[in-house]
Structure 1
Amino acid sequence: MKSKIKSLAKSKVEIIVTFDNNELLPFKNKALEELGQNLTLKGFRQGKAPLDLVESNVSPIELYEKLSLFALEKFYSQIISDNNIEPLGQPLISITKLIPNSLVELKLEISVMPHLTLTDYRQVAQGKQTSRQPITVTDEEVTEALTWLQKTRASTDPKTNTKIVPPLDDVFAQSLGNFQTLEELKKNIKEGLTIEKQEKEKERWRLEVMEEIIKQIKEEIPDILIEAEKSKMMEELKIRLAEMQLPFEEYLKQIKKTEEELLKDFLPLAEKRVKMALVLKEIAEQEKIEITEEEIEKKINEILNQLPDPELKNKINLEELKIFASGLIRNEKVFELLEKQQ
C-alpha cells in the first residue's frame, strides 16, 4: 500500500492511496459474498449462489471497487498513522484509477484537526497582568444584598393584607443560619460577594487573554468543527428554553427568526469557541500538561453530585463524561499556567 498526502484549504487533506492486487485479493470472498446478496441466479435463492458463480456474473470493475473499500476499511488507521493526521468525521472517497487484477487508486478527502502556530502565549498572559481589575465590595452592595434577603423573608398580615418586613437585627441574622449577630451576617455577605466578583474577574481576564491569542491565529478552522459547535449552541439554547418552559417555536416567533437564521447568527461565537478550544488543546500539548486518573474521578464525582435528578445520573454515558471531565481539568491547568506569568 502506498499513500501520498497533500494539504487543502480549510484544514483538509487529500490522500492518494494505492492498493496492489496482493493487498486486494484477501478480501475477494468477502466482496463476492456481499455482491452476491443482490444477485438472483437461476436455480438459487437470492444471495445463496456459489461464490464462483457470483464472480462470473459481476463485472471486474464492480468487484475491484468492492475490494478497494474493504482494503481501505482495514488499512485506514494505518493510513492515518503513516500520515500523522487527526481526522474529523468520515473521509470523502472517490476511485481515481482501477485496473482489474492489478491495482486500485483511491482519493480520500479528509477534514483534519489543525495544528495551530501560536503566538508567545506566555508573553501575552504576562502583558495582560496589568489589565486585572481590583476587587472591592462596598457597604452599599452589602446593604443591597441584605435588603433583598429582608424582602424574601417578608410575611403578609392576614387581616390587613400588608407586607411585614422583619427588622435587620441579630434575630434576623440568626434566622438565616449559623450567625449570632447581624455583623456576622454582613461579613459573610461581603465575603460571598467578594468571591463572586473574583470569579467574574477571573473569567473576564481569561477571556481577554484567549481573545488576544485567537486574534493572531492564521490557520483556517475546519467547517466541520464550526458546524458542530453551532449545533451544540442550538441544543444548549433549547435546553435553557425548556427550563424556562418556553417552547422553542414560540421563542422563534418572539425574535422573528427561523432556526436556520439563528444558526447563521451563531457563526461568529461558534468560531470563537472552537478557536479557544483548539488554543487550549495546543497549549496543553506544548506544555505537556498531564491529568491523573484520580483528578478525573474527582471531577466526575463533582459533576454527578451537582445533578438533582438521580435518574439522570443513570442515563449519562460515563466514557463521554470522562472525556468531558478531562477537558475541564486540562483547560483549568492551562489557565492556571497563564495566570502565573508575571
Structure 2
Amino acid sequence: MEITGEISVGDFDNYYQKVFQEISENAEIPGFRKGQTPANIIKERVGEHYILEKAAEAAINETWPKILEEKIEQGLEIIGRPQIAITKLAKNNPLGFKIIISILPKIKLGDYKKISREIMKEETKIIAEDKEIDKMKERDRKRIESLDKIAEWEDYLKHIKKTEEELKKDWSDNALKRVKHGLILRAVANKENIRVFEQEISQKIEQMLKAVPLEEAKKLDQNRLKDYAYGIIRNEKTFQILENV
C-alpha cells in the first residue's frame, strides 16, 4: 500500500529552523565562538541541502508513526517497517513524501466451527504399539485439513493479484502452506478474540530457553523471542477452539 502526502511550508520551516538552531549551537568554526557563528557562514560550511535533509528527516520521523497509527485505527494490520521516500525537498516549499507499507489482507472465513467439528469427530484407527505417536500425527493431520478448508483462499490470491502457481514459484510448497495456515490461524484468533497474557509468554520463553545453551541464549533478540512465543501460544489456543467446537 502506498501513501503519499505533504508537510506544509509553515510546518516544514519550523523543522528547518529547529535543525538549523541545533547545528548553529554545536558548530565549531575557526575564528568564531561555539554557538556564535553567523548564519551565512554556517550555511556555507554545511550546505543548504544538508540542512534541508536533516529537517526532512526530523519531520518524517515525527510524522510517519502518526499516519500509521491512523491506518491501524481504521482496521489495517500493518507488518514490517515502512519504506519512506522524500518526493519533494526545497526551501520555502511543502515537503513531499511517500510511504509504502505492507498490510495483511483480510481472510474470509467459512463456517470454521462446523468444518472443524466434522473433521475432528472422524474416527481414526490407531495402531496400539505407536498409540501416542499416531495420536499426535492424526491430530496434526486434522488440524491442517481444517485450516485448508475453513478459509476462502481465492479471496487472498485476488487481493495480492497472484495465482497459487505464481506463489509457488516464489516460495517452496512448505513455505506457502505455512503462510496460508498462519494467515488463517490469525483470522480465526481475531474472530474468537483470543488473548495471550504476559505470564504465559514468560513461561513459554523460559521453557524454550531450557533447550538452548546459555551463551547462545544471551545472543537471542528478546523482542523476536517474545513475538515467537506469543505466536505459538495464540496458535495453540486457536487450535484448541477448533478441536473442541
TM-score, shorter chain, exceeding 0.5: yes
Q: Does 1:204 align with 2:141?
A: yes
Which runs of 5 or more residues in structure 1 are unaligned? 1-12, 138-189, 223-262
Comparing 279-288 with 50-59, greater Cα deviation is found at 50-59
SS of the residue corresponding to residue 155 of structure 2 reads coil
2:132 maps to 195
> Structure 1 CA distance, aligned partners of 2:150 and 2:54?
47
Structure showing greater radius of gyration is 1
Deviation at 1:125, TM superposition (A): 1.2
Change (3 A) 1:56 1:310: closer
SS of the residue corresponding to residue 219 of structure 1 reads helix
Aligned residue runs from structure 1 range 45-124, under 5 A: 51-55=39-43, 58=47, 63-64=51-52, 66-84=54-72, 85=76, 86-95=78-87, 97=88, 100-124=91-115
Task: Specify which of 10, 27, 35 is matched with residue 22 of structure 1.
Answer: 10
Q: Work out whether residues 29 and 51 of structure 1, in 8 Å CA contact, stay in contact via their aligned partners in 2.
A: no
SS of the residue corresponding to residue 156 of structure 2 reads coil
Q: Work out whether residues 119 and 216 of structure 1, in 8 Å CA contact, stay in contact via their aligned partners in 2.
A: no
Aligned length: 226
2:204 maps to 299
Comparing 109-118 with 330-339, greater Cα deviation is found at 109-118
2:150 maps to 213
Q: Work out whether residues 84 and 97 of structure 2, in 8 Å CA contact, stay in contact via their aligned partners in 1.
A: no
Identity of aligned residues (%): 27
Give CA deviations for 1:119-176 in whole Å, capped at 9, x if unaligned: 3322321232354523232xxxxxxxxxxxxxxxxxxxxxxxxxxxxxxxxxxxxxxx
Q: How large is the RMSD of aligned CA atoms in angstroms?
A: 3.5
1:168 maps to none
Give CA deviations for 1:279-322 in whole Å, capped at 9, x if unaligned: 21221122111122232222222212233x34333333333322
Change (3 A) 1:103 1:126: same
SS of the residue corresponding to residue 288 of structure 1 reads coil
Which runs of 5 or more residues in structure 2 are unaligned? 161-167
Q: Does 1:126 align with 2:63?
A: no
2:229 maps to 325
Change (3 A) 1:117 1:265: closer
2:165 maps to none
1:271 maps to 176
1:283 maps to 188
Which gives a bigger RCO, structure 1 or 2 (Cα 8 Å, sep 6+)?
A: 2
Give CA deviations for 1:232-258 in whole Å, capped at 9, x if unaligned: xxxxxxxxxxxxxxxxxxxxxxxxxxx
Change (3 A) 1:272 1:300: same
Q: Work out whether residues 110 and 152 of structure 2, in 8 Å CA contact, stay in contact via their aligned partners in 1.
A: no
Change (3 A) 1:117 1:202: same
SS of the residue corresponding to residue 7 of structure 2 reads strand
